[in-house]
Amino acid sequence: MPDVNMPKLSDTMEEGTIVEWKKKSGDQVKTGDVLAEVESDKATFDLEAEADGTLQILVEQGVPAKIGAPIAKIGEAGEDAGPAQEPAPKQAPPKKQAAAEAKPKEPDTPPTAAEEREPAQRSAPPREAPAEAPPAAAQPPPRERGGQDGQQDGIKASPLARRLAAEMGVDLSSLQGSGPEGRIVKEDVMAAGGPRPKSDRRRPAAAAERQAGPDVEVVEPTRMQATIARRMAESKATVPEFQVTVEARVDLAVSLRQQLKDSVPGAEKVTMTDFLVRACALALRRFPEVNSSWADGRFQRKRSINIGLAVAPSQGMGLLVPVVHDADIKDLIQISIESRQVIERARSGRPAEGDLSGATFSISNLGMFGVDEFTAIINPPEAAILAVGAIKDVPVVEGARIVPGKVMRMTLSVDHRVFYGATAAQFMAEVKRLIENPVTLLVPQS
């Protein structure tokens, strides 16, 4: 009987939590079926079946499990249908009855069932989480129905798109997805259902919270938010950092970007961030000291140049850093396509292996929000992160004339243990040179 183990999604992931089981114990599952929604320290993703058979759930939703620990089993339909259904009624009473009523039932349990429940008993302290489970337990019928219909009809849709479609009454089978391989994403559902239902739903909910809640509401962070808080606090406490800021003229880059969108197939969605990824990758090749880490009192020079892109998740507060691997050996169009794909997979909760790990340098661009400039916090073990502001129309001096121009401010945060002010200044000068002369980003590098 093959085990379904908690997968490792990123370098920092140590355990995951089952947010919701999409299938029940005793259900017949096929390879590729979504079994559960799992929350890691960086994202929420779908866990898919890797074999056909009958599902037997070992870890309840809301209970954390270590990486590699079995959380379910998939057996042949004939042999496991009975045992798979047994744990369900035994797990149900603690949710609906007092703990005192659950205790007398334990001695009646056969030894084999008791052994199967040992992982859950070891996780006894977090078992208070099922107190929050009744609302989720009351809603499974529509959720399960939506997930199973999607699988049976062969509809590719992100978990967020399915939720929105159920809430807004949108038929997924009538939509054509704009995501990778025709996958239906949030924007497709919003375009089909219109924005009004979303605003109408949020207003009364926010008003109800203000009326019912106290003056100060205590909110438990998600696993992702708790990890971000811990790692950022560690970074500020342990990394001696300094910043270097430059201002670049981007008139030519903006013009070239528009020409590419108008005339080059595959370049329709090229962004300024794609230009920056390419420029930073080439600059990192020239300054390998920046593409390094400090570990155990030594420098670690990285051969691969992998650029992390700090982006917000599709829902709620948080931070995702999808990674474009080997960015220095990819052209601008390849970088544009791959960055969109890894960001979409991360936001949809279905990141591929390596999508959220292995970055050697990061870029955080808040220019689309109108931010002029800011400083970003280094994400160890990386030694630097580039913070990018908005493109602004300003008067600039050319020779003896004042002319209109487009400028963009960039700030590099540096781990002073790894490299120093002169190197940081030279690196930023190179990035500025490449951005101000964007044709160099199109020339293949030897």
User: Which residues have a Cβ under 8 Å from the Cβ of 43 and sit 6 or more positions away?
Assistant: 9, 224, 313, 320, 346, 349, 351, 356
Q: Cα–Cα distance between 290 and 284 in angstroms, integer?
A: 6
Give 446's contacts (C-beta < 8 A, 6+ positions apart): none
Give alpha helix (H) positions in 153-250: 159-168, 186-193, 196-212, 223-238
On whether the CB atoms of residues 166 and 155 are closer than 8 A, the answer is no
Which positions ≥6 away from 139 have C-beta within 8 Å?
none
Q: Is 325 a catalytic residue?
A: no
Catalytic residue among 163, 340, 416, 417: 416
Both tokens of 440, joined, read: 């160099």
Angle at 114 between CA 108 and CA 120, to 5 degrees: 125
Strand duo 307-310 + 361-365: pairing: parallel
Cβ-based neighbour number of residue 370 at 10 Å: 9
CA atoms within 13 A on the CB side of 45: 24
DSSP letters of 168-179?
A: HT--GGG----S
How are strands ordered across the β-sheet holding 323-324? 241-249, 401-415, 384-398, 361-365, 307-310, 323-324
Of the candidates 240, 243, 245, which has an alpha carbon nearest to the alpha carbon of residue 431?
245
Q: Please report how many Cα atoms fall inside a 13 Å half-sphere around the Cα of residue 59, on the Cβ side.
A: 28
Length of the chain: 446
Sequence-distant (6+) residues with CB within 8 A of 160 are 185, 186, 314, 315, 347, 348, 349
Tokens 């609302």 correspond to what residue? 135
Identify the H or E element spanning 393: strand 384-398
The residues, any chain, with a CB within 8 Å of residue 332's CB and separated by 6 or more, are 260, 267, 270, 274, 275, 278, 441, 442
DSSP H/E element including 292:
strand 292-295
Q: Could you list the active site residues?
A: 416
